Structure 1
Amino acid sequence: MSLPVRPEDMRASDAEREVVQQLLHRAHADGSLDLAEFDERVVAVWRAKTRGELVALTADLPQVVERPLPPPPPPPVRVKPRGPSALKVLTTIWLSVSAFNFAIWLLVSVLGGEGVVHPWFLWVAMPSGAVLGVIWLLVGRDRAAG
């Protein structure tokens, strides 16, 4: 017949040693232990054979109250660059105005009776189209660099 083993005389597991080491780490972080004392106790934790020895290493420390972790910060809001969509709208407007001017020029040339009229619609379409094209090139370069 074997004698009953007291809980403090039972062998300690590595998981129990890890828990005690975490308690010591919290006590050091809270200022209850200085660095030298923390180091000595951690070495003693891993040398401890029984649960009673582990309890003795934390008996003089204040009980650690678990504080809930603060909620994680919200993910950063990514603002979608508006440049390309605004340029698409401007390009659509430019194409519409240029097509309208071309249609008027074509009607005047065909129905005017004088033959083909000077292509005046190009004086409207080309300068604004060139400026719009340069802007598209600059925005494309900025997007490729960023």
Structure 2
Amino acid sequence: MDAVNEPVHPEQVRISDAERHAVAERLRTAHDDGFIDLSEFDERIAEVWRMRTRGELGRVTRDLPPPQRRRNDGLVFADSAGGVAMKVLAVIWLCLTAVAVSGWGIVALTAGVEYPWFLWVSAPPGAVLLTLWLTGIGRPRRGNR
């Protein structure tokens, strides 16, 4: 059998930039979690971009623990300063809305006024928070560790 038709061992398969990015993200997580220091992180990242095969790529993460699921997976707000700010603002907005709806309910029951004035209190800040969140402020990144 000639060399052209021989199967390539999985560790000899060339890697893509997407695979390099995934390993770089794993190294970034290891640095963030304190498993490697900044100097070692820099060395390993430089090494990742010099590597060509999957076998080589596996060497830079071999001594790291398996990736853990992060706390913000599936949650609405990220574990960042923006996520904390949005969470605080959302809680304040919910409290404001609860007070306004309660006040409206009391007035509606006692005076018979049914005009939903609480929407003037609740809707504008709610629209601002929703717009910020939809533009990505405080929201977890997709595929975030």
Superposition deviation, residue 15 in structure 1: 0.1
Does 1 or 2 have the higher relative contact order (CA < 8 Å, sep 6+)?
Answer: 2
Aligned with residue 49 of structure 1, among 35, 49, 52: 52
Q: Per residue, is there more helix in 1 or in 2? A: 1
Aligned with residue 71 of structure 1, among 67, 76, 79: 76
- CA–CA distance in 1 between the matches of 2:9 and 2:69? 29
- CA–CA distance in 2 between the matches of 1:68 and 1:27? 15
Amino acid at match of 1:43: A
Amino acid at match of 1:34: D
- CA–CA distance in 2 between the matches of 1:77 and 1:67? 27
- CA–CA distance in 2 between the matches of 1:53 and 1:19? 14
2:117 is aligned to none
TM-score normalised to structure 2 length: 0.50
Q: CA RMSD in A?
A: 2.3
Superposition deviation, residue 50 in structure 1: 0.4
Q: Give aligned pairs, total.
A: 81
1:38 is aligned to 41
1:24 paired to 2:24:
no
TM-score normalised to structure 1 length: 0.50
1:5 is aligned to 8
Amino acid at match of 2:10: P
Q: How does 1:89-104 map to 2 (within 5 A)?
A: none
Q: Write the deviation string for residues 68-112 of structure 1: whole angstroms up to 9, x where unpaired.
A: 4043226352969xxxxxxxxxxxxxxxxxxxxxxxxxxxxxxxx
- CA–CA distance in 1 between the matches of 2:70 and 2:37? 22
Q: How does 1:125-144 map to 2 (within 5 A)?
A: none
Amino acid at match of 2:53: T
Gap runs ≥5 in structure 2: 78-86, 98-145
Say which one has the larger Rg. Answer: 1
Gap runs ≥5 in structure 1: 81-146
Superposition deviation, residue 60 in structure 1: 0.5
Identical-residue share of aligned pairs (%): 46
Amino acid at match of 1:71: V
Amino acid at match of 2:19: E
- CA–CA distance in 2 between the matches of 1:46 and 1:7? 19
Q: Write the deviation string for residues 103-124 of structure 1: whole angstroms up to 9, x where unpaired.
A: xxxxxxxxxxxxxxxxxxxxxx
Superposition deviation, residue 64 in structure 1: 1.6
Query: Which runs of 4 or more aligned residues in structure 1 lie more than 3 Å from their structure 2 counterparts after TM superposition?
Result: none
